[in-house]
Amino acid sequence: MITKRRWAARVCILLAALGAGLVPVGAVADEPAAKEAPKVELVLDVSGSMRARDIDGQSRMAAAKQAFNEVLDAVPEEVRLGIRTLGADYPGDDRKRGCKDTRQLYPVGPLDRTEAKTAVATLAPTGWTPIGPALLGAAEDLKGGTATKRIVLITDGEDTCAPLDPCQVARDIAAQGIHLVIDTLGLVPDAKTRQQLTCIAEATGGTYTTVEHTDELSSRVRQLVKRAADPVVTPVVTQGAGKCTDAPDLKAGLYTDRASFDQHRWYKIAVLPGQELRASVTVSADRAVHNDYGVMLRAVTVHGREIVRGSEAGHGRTDAISTGLRYPKAPSDDYDFDPDEETDATEPAPAAETVCLEVSNSFAAPPSVKTTPGMPVELTVDLVDGPDRSSDVASFGLGRGWWLLGVLVLAGFLAGLIWGWVSRWRIAVWRTN
């Protein structure tokens, strides 16, 4: 039998359920913001040299079209893809016009596979190879927002529009701090083309790949597009100062900066008692440098006293050089800090120590090498719980280890007594027998 009290309780439950169903999804507290979709632009060389028939018995252009069709079928749904061409429209000999021959074939956005394939099918090898202008155009196509951005350049030759050096264009793009990576693929390249495409890729943290077969081209482009959909952590752009007092305040994270040859860059970190600062730095040699080089990372107090340093040096050709350091800050005697524990608002917060990080390098280059923009610097900062000093082996010294020494002495004494008693018992038994 259902009593009035039970009936009233069931009605309340029903009303509560209906009320919960009427709450809009957007009212949920702390709902994470939607992540911006990654952007990729494929930049395809359609210059006259793409007529050459040296890739699996077909022309380079035919191989590129076949690869593009396979890539477009495999683009992840979350990727916003665009296509830009270079050398696709002007067939004449006017260099000024030929070096402006780049246009966006398909806009960066949600992909209509049929429309994109149709646009690619209309292409025919035509004109010049303005790689520099094409990279500038692609960077413009991808500008804005915080999404991961990637350019995939596919070409069979070096740029024909100097003095606009495409390698310098890539460095200028990297210096803008927009986190745009350029990957390059060379179709049956010669040594000069390989060198230029490698320089473009390294300037932005991208990769260079030599391609001699259609399946290699398709596989590599698919891989790069997929990588854009599942990127690594994007570094935060920062700018180090010439001295610690002017340095930017950093927290745990990944940062990118630029440093000229032999330059010192300063950053500041607040380290709480009981935390351990872990930092590492990588300097990339994105241009020709002398054979001897080095990098140093120092942790210094605000008063200039060195705490700890890490350094690395090398000789010969290098793409990057790295070093790191660790600094555990001792817990405060009157404050037991636990970063995961909620603290009372009335309890005084622990005093943080300002640690200055100095990054310096000993790179040098021939006079003909440009020094601006500076070389890419990647700085990783992490703040973790410091080691549990109560369990340190070092703590078992004379300061804290008397109890252990007492236990060992007592155990030895008891063992001696037992061994003596057993020995006397064995002797007594032997004499009796």
pTM as predicted:
0.55
Per-residue pLDDT tens digits for 65-95? 999 999 999 999 999 999 999 999 999 999 9
Say how many domains are in the chain. 2
On whether both 133 and 55 belong to a single domain, the answer is yes
CB 37 within 8 A of CB 75: no
On whether both 151 and 219 belong to a single domain, the answer is yes
- 62 Cβ neighbours under 8 A, 6+ residues apart: 55
pLDDT at residue 139 tops 90:
yes
On whether both 189 and 316 belong to a single domain, the answer is no
Provide the angle, in degrees to the nearest 10, between the axes of the packed helices 166-175 and 191-203. 10
Closest by Cα among 308, 309, 330 to 387: 330
CA distances to 71, 409, 411, 420 from 415, rounded to whole Å, are 76, 10, 6, 9
Q: Lowest-pLDDT range, 202-206, 270-274, 283-287, 348-352?
A: 348-352
Phi and psi dihedrals of 207, rounded to 5? -125, 155
- The angle at the Cα of 168, spanning 105 to 197, to the nearest 5 degrees, equals 65
CA distances to 20, 24, 26 from 17, rounded to whole Å, are 5, 14, 18
CATH number at residue 323: 2.60.120.380
Q: Decide if 93 is inside a domain.
A: yes
On whether both 180 and 321 belong to a single domain, the answer is no
For the chain, give the longest Cα–Cα distance. Answer: 122
Q: How confident is the model at residue 348 (pLDDT cuts 50, 70, 90)?
A: low
Per-residue pLDDT tens digits for 311-327? 998 888 777 788 999 99
Per-residue pLDDT tens digits for 403-417? 666 777 788 778 878
Helix (H) or strand (E) holding 354: strand 353-361
Q: How confident is the model at residue 130 (pLDDT cuts 50, 70, 90)?
A: very high
SS3 45: strand
Between residues 16 and 184, the one the model is more confident about? 184
pLDDT at 321: 85
pLDDT at residue 387 tops 70:
no
On whether both 223 and 305 belong to a single domain, the answer is no
pLDDT at 390: 45
Most confidently modeled of 162-166, 216-220, 244-248, 402-406?
244-248
Q: Decide if 30 is inside a domain.
A: no
Q: Decide if 207 is inside a domain.
A: yes
Q: For residue 134, give its domain range.
A: 39-229
Q: Decide if 154 is inside a domain.
A: yes
Q: Decide if 47 is inside a domain.
A: yes
On whether both 218 and 244 belong to a single domain, the answer is no
On whether both 185 and 250 belong to a single domain, the answer is no
Phi and psi dihedrals of 198, rounded to 5? -65, -40
CATH number at residue 151: 3.40.50.410
Per-residue pLDDT tens digits for 296-310? 999 999 999 999 999
Per-residue pLDDT tens digits for 229-245? 876 666 788 999 999 99
pLDDT at residue 202 tops 90:
no
pLDDT at 8: 45
Per-residue pLDDT tens digits for 140-153? 999 988 888 999 99
On whether both 64 and 126 belong to a single domain, the answer is yes
pLDDT at residue 385 tops 60:
yes
Q: Lowest-pLDDT range, 31-40, 129-138, 185-194, 220-229?
A: 31-40
Q: Decide if 32 is inside a domain.
A: no
Phi and psi dihedrals of 414, rounded to 5? -65, -40
Range 333-345 average pLDDT: 49
> What dihedral do alpha carbons 114, 116, 122, 128 form, nearest 10°?
-170
Q: Decide if 210 is inside a domain.
A: yes
pLDDT at 347: 56
pLDDT at residue 391 tops 60:
no
